[in-house]
Amino acid sequence: MPKASPSSKVSVHAAAVNEIKVITEGEALLNSTSPVLPNRMSHVDAIRAVAVLFVMWMHYAEIFSNIAGSGQWLNSIPHYGNFGRIGVVVFFALSGLLIPKSLYGPISAGTRRFLIRRFFRLYPAFWVSIPLGFLSYRMLAGRQMEPAAWLANATMLPDALGYPEMMGHYWTLETELVFYALCLVLFWLGGIQRMRDLCIVCVSLGGAFVITSALKIVPPTALGQYKGMLYHLSIMFWGACFRHVNDNPRGRVVFTLPGVPAFRVDCSYKTAFVAVTGVVASISLLTFAVALIQHDNEHVINSVSYLLGLGIFILLATVWKIHSRLFAWIGELSYSLYLLHGVPVYVLEWVCKRAGWLGAPLAVYMITAAVFAIGLSWLSFRAVEAPCIRLGHALTSARRPTTSNAVFVGDHAREKNGGH
């Protein structure tokens, strides 16, 4: 592609936000020596890919292990490593990395832009997945869904409204919406772009999780997503803190205590992030210790999976950035893939049981389902997700953008296909 002229560059400045450049495809250079995909923040797409592949591996191995004749180690590894939870933790940290930076400018305009773009980013593709989920997960198994449950699922908040999810892995979307609401509140209060505020919110949510868990404020009968929501939100804001360190490694932050003039802590962003990371990780270590004492193997595994998720995110976002066309492509499809990956696995399991295609190696079933899932997700992305993303940007931009020309420069930028 010919190199664009300097006049094609557009500089955009917003209060409390690092400089961002929207430039034509082919000019952007990542802060990396890798020649692969220089016009995209490809390692972020790759992190998405890794996260969704962790989730798929666990779900696929778990379901197909019942009909496979060999290769059960493919189920044992993700089971004892809780790969699904690792993938979800990485996704949550990614949301923190991306979403807060998409809130900028005047409150009214920034709120409108955020809500419209988030709506078109999430809901159309999600609505497509609902009937497909019903056909594959519920109808084939003889499960019915009343009309009110369909409407509840369309909101992404079925559990909060007292109805079952169309497919079980949709629970993360409700947590995502709560995170958006908290980000909006911080934006209205002027704190969404301040490292201090993000650190305080992160630690406060983690502390609230520990207190509510210790006092058993959340009923034992509550869904797991509600028991862990405060911690998941803390992880999201931890990802936002990481973004500030990544964007401005020499930045400094001052912590004060209202009414106590003598209390003043002045430290670098890096020091603050290390401290926040210590808090977030300590919560998992505390849960691990309690579960170990109570001989609760499930929560022992869960605690380790949270630590692994945090570690994998940091690794892939810093020292091991994956710049691969394949991983970037899968990452681009990751939201549709997350929504739809269950459809082919349920259909294939149903077909295999009725056709007698039993006893094959577990990998055969998993790979077959993954191929269909990626193909279905590609169709969803091309036909629904990408056009709706463009529509959301068109409705909120004076200059009509494309999904490929808003790029990160030197690993700094606003939102680009945030969330899953």
372 token code pair: 């269909």
- Radius of gyration of the chain from its Cα atoms, rounded to whole angstroms: 22
Q: Give the C-alpha separation, 143 to 91, whole Å.
A: 30
Q: What is the DSSP secondary-structure string of 182-245?
A: HHHHHHHTT-TT-HHHHHHHHHHHHHHHHHHHHTT-S-TTS-HHHHSHHHHHHHHHHHHHHHHH
CA separation for the pair 413, 30 (Å, rounded): 11
CA dihedral 390, 394, 399, 400 (to 10 degrees): 40
Over the stretch 192-243, which tens digit does the pLDDT of each residue have? 999 999 999 999 999 999 999 999 898 888 888 999 999 999 999 999 999 9
pTM confidence score = 0.85
Q: Specify the DSSP element, H or E, that contains 293.
A: helix 269-293
pLDDT value for 19:
32
pLDDT digits (tens, 9 = 90+) for 58-87: 999 999 999 999 999 999 999 999 999 999
Residue 167 corresponds to which tokens in the numbers above?
């497919």
Question: ∠ CA(89), CA(218), CA(95), 5° rounding?
Answer: 25
Quick one: pLDDT at residue 144?
A: 86
What pLDDT shows up at residue 18? Answer: 36
Q: How would DSSP label each residue in 86-101?
A: HHHHHHHHHHHHHSGG
Please list the residues that pair with 411 across neighbouring strands.
none
What pLDDT does 41 receive? 66
- What is the pLDDT at residue 221? 86
Rounded Cα distance between 193 and 368, Å, is 44
Residues in the chain with pLDDT < 70?
Answer: 1-41, 398-420
Closest Cα to residue 357, out of 68, 63, 65, 72? 68
| Selection from 83, 58, 99 nearest residue 309 by Cα | 83
Q: Is the dihedral of CA 3, 6, 8, 9 positive or negative?
A: positive
Collect contacts of 140-147 with beta carbons under 8 A, ≥24 apart: 140/346, 140/347, 140/350, 141/346, 141/350
Helix, strand and coil content of the chain, in percent to the nearest 5, comes to 65, 5, 30
Are the beta carbons of 420 and 97 closer than 8 angstroms?
no
Tokens representing 330? 């899968």
Pairwise CA distance, residues 204 & 199, whole Å: 8
- Gap between the Cα atoms of 77 and 80, Å rounded: 6
